[in-house]
Amino acid sequence: MQEPTEVVGRNGAQARVLAGVRSAIIEGRHAPGEPLSELALAAEYDVSRTPVREALKQLQIEGLVEVRARVGTFVRSPSRREVVELFELKEMLEGMAARLLAARGPVPVLDEIEDNLERSGRAVAQGDTEDYARLVHGFHELLVVGADNSQLESHYRTLMNQLAYHRLVSASLTRPGRLGASLAEHRNVLELIQEKDGFGAEFAMRDHVRSSERATLAADDPLAGGTPLRKEV
Amino acid sequence: MQEPTEVVGRNGAQARVLAGVRSAIIEGRHAPGEPLSELALAAEYDVSRTPVREALKQLQIEGLVEVRARVGTFVRSPSRREVVELFELKEMLEGMAARLLAARGPVPVLDEIEDNLERSGRAVAQGDTEDYARLVHGFHELLVVGADNSQLESHYRTLMNQLAYHRLVSASLTRPGRLGASLAEHRNVLELIQEKDGFGAEFAMRDHVRSSERATLAADDPLAGGTPLRKEV
DNA sequence: CGGTAGGTTCTTGCATGCAAGAGAAGCTAC
DNA sequence: GTAGCTTCTCTTGCATGCAAGAACCTACCG
């Protein structure tokens, strides 16, 4: 997505490594449990161990890797329990976003959401699951950004990175009937926001997140009995 | 609070620096805006710059310090807007905690909360504001821990560190009548939890957080017209 | 053939040296 | 006296070297 020759302003090396490794983990190019040697990453990004260490430290705080002292650094995947906990948080944060957005009144982002839902309708009509998954991601993103609360946005992004959410969602959307139901829920949320019904929007959103969670966990469950999420596609 | 000679298991140096600097910032021993030289901290903790850098990096992610490349590292204090945003998040997270705790049914932590409220009652009767402030902190802590959601707990702690919350609360409790009202709200929340009324508990808690927030911001407002929170005591 | 002890190699944790840049202080010219 | 420029110092960013420890592999013994 980005030109590798792009010059990052201040701390170039560390930021470059951070972005690279993070996206590699989220997109599944590094499998859960896989060891990430500082030395190997340093060679890969053509920098010394120092910026690699700092990038890995940040990823550790974000919950994406686990550093065991004098043993190694490993790609971390949340346990089943953590996934449930993260979904519970996600429900609250997105509900909050819907409520805050409703309270803001008419703002341009509402038009973007409306446009998103129109395109989502076309994707559902054509049965284009992949395109719809992208649009779903966009819908939630617009909602959170539109809430205009940078702290919420920050915590939310950390959460979503841990969940590797888009991969989970893609799986859940393959379930028959889920597409249409999902779209109807989205439309309901937007309607309540436009009516400035903050609490209505919050709870509609929370219900939607719970439904989506159930579909996601159900889609994931039969395949893997134990802990492994983020299976290979 | 801790013996400085205590040996930390794995990465001793960094953990020691991290804990020391973080508590120093939260407790106000480092004023907002104050520069934190890596070299000076290294000398103070008798380590090299490396573990200091890693500790500061973590504090940067937590929002407690700001690192400007090739300029310096400074103690960060949230802007007024950020404080409002953080309170909005706090409201959701604590409401969530109350709901989750109610759903757990009778667990030992409920007895601890009951004990906390009894002692709070005595503190209010005696007008011991300082003791009550500690008990308030304990109440909220018990609630969040009792919710048994480690992700919630983690995000909540980050939040509270950024707010330097206990200092703000102490200020708000000096307002006449706030002590009694606060205690009554706490009792109401516990009652609803004991009745397993999850949503009732959630909203009682959210109301309580909003009241507390209003009292806090009101107590802080007249003193500082602009941005500075965390005034010296 | 199995188990144990030793060594070897890999890992991260920490210390240190160098370089680039920002900012302040002082000097010079007007 | 003041504005502008130069220089100097202090900061963090990055590279590298060393050390401690963990895990694995191997050889040896029962």
pLDDT at position B30: 93
Q: Which residues of B touch A88 (CB under 8 A)?
A: 96, 100, 149, 151-152
Question: Residue A79 pLDDT > 70, yes or no?
Answer: yes
Nucleotides of C under 7 A from a protein CB: 10-17, 20-23
Task: Give the integer Cα–Cα distance in Å for B202 and B186.
Answer: 12
Q: Which residues of A touch B151 (CB under 8 A)?
A: 82, 85-86, 88-89, 159
High-pLDDT (> 90) share of chain B, %: 69
Comparing B53 with B129, the larger pLDDT belongs to B53
Cβ partners under 8 Å of residue A67, min gap 6: A56, A57, A60, A73
Nucleotide nearest to B52 (CA to C1'): C14
Confidence at A167, pLDDT banded by 50, 70, 90: low
SS3 of chain B? CCCCCCCCCCCHHHHHHHHHHHHHHHCCCCCCCCECCHHHHHHHHCCCHHHHHHHHHHHHHHCCEEEECCCEEEECCCCHHHHHHHHHHHHHHHHHHHHHHHHHCCCHHHHHHHHHHHHHHHHHHCCCHHHHHHHHHHHHHHHHHHCCCHHHHHHHHHHHHHHCHHHHHHHHCCCCCHHHHHHHHHHHHHHHHHCCCHHHHHHHHHHHHHHHHHHHHHHHCCCCCCCCCCCCC
Which of B113, B76, B92 minimizes the C-alpha distance to B191? B113
Picking from A35-39, A163-167, B84-88, which range would have the lowest pLDDT averaged per residue?
A: A163-167
pLDDT at position A19: 96
Question: Residue B33 pLDDT > 60, yes or no?
Answer: yes
Task: Give the integer Cα–Cα distance in Å for B45 and B51.
Answer: 10
Confidence at A169, pLDDT banded by 50, 70, 90: low
Q: Containing H/E element for A96?
A: helix A80-104
Which residue's entry shows tokens 């980050």?
Answer: B158
- Antiparallel, parallel or unpaired: β A72-75 and B65-68: unpaired
Q: Of chain B residues 54-73, which have a CB less than 8 A from chain A? A: 54, 57-58, 61, 69-70
Cβ of B135: how many Cβ atoms within 10 Å?
A: 23
- What is the token pair recorded at A85? 């906990």
The domains located in chain A, with CATH, are: 12-75 (1.10.10.10), 80-220 (1.20.120.530)
- Residues A31-47 have a mean pLDDT of 95
Question: Residue A232 pLDDT > 70, yes or no?
Answer: no
* Strand D proximal residues, B:44-83, Cβ < 7 Å: 49-50, 53, 67-73
Dump pLDDT digits (tens) for B160-175: 999 876 666 666 766 7
pLDDT at position A166: 61
* Residues forming a β-bridge with B67: B73
| Ramachandran angles phi, psi of B66, nearest 5° | -125, 125
Task: Give the integer Cα–Cα distance in Å for A159 and B151.
Answer: 9
Cβ of A71: how many Cβ atoms within 10 Å?
A: 10
Contact A96 B88 (CB under 8 A): yes
Picking from A101-115, A117-131, B214-228, which range would have the lowest pLDDT averaged per residue?
A: B214-228
Q: Is A63 left (phi over 0), alpha (psi -120 to 50) or beta?
A: left
Distance from CA of A20 to the nearest CA of B (A): 18
Contact A92 B92 (CB under 8 A): yes
Judged by DSSP in three states, A65 sits in: strand
Task: Give the integer Cα–Cα distance in Å for B10 and B44.
Answer: 21
The rounded radius of gyration (Å) of the Cα atoms in chain A is 19
Confidence at A220, pLDDT banded by 50, 70, 90: low
Q: Are B178 and B214 in contact (CB under 8 A)?
A: no
Dump pLDDT digits (tens) for A173-184: 667 678 888 899
Contact A85 B11 (CB under 8 A): no
pLDDT at position A163: 87
Task: Give the integer Cα–Cα distance in Å for B16 and A41.
Answer: 28
Distance from CA of A106 to the nearest CA of B (A): 20
- Antiparallel, parallel or unpaired: β B65-68 and B72-75: antiparallel
Q: Are B98 and B142 in contact (CB under 8 A)?
A: no
- What is the token pair recorded at A167? 């991969």
- What is the token pair recorded at B85? 């945003």
Q: Containing H/E element for A193?
A: helix A178-194
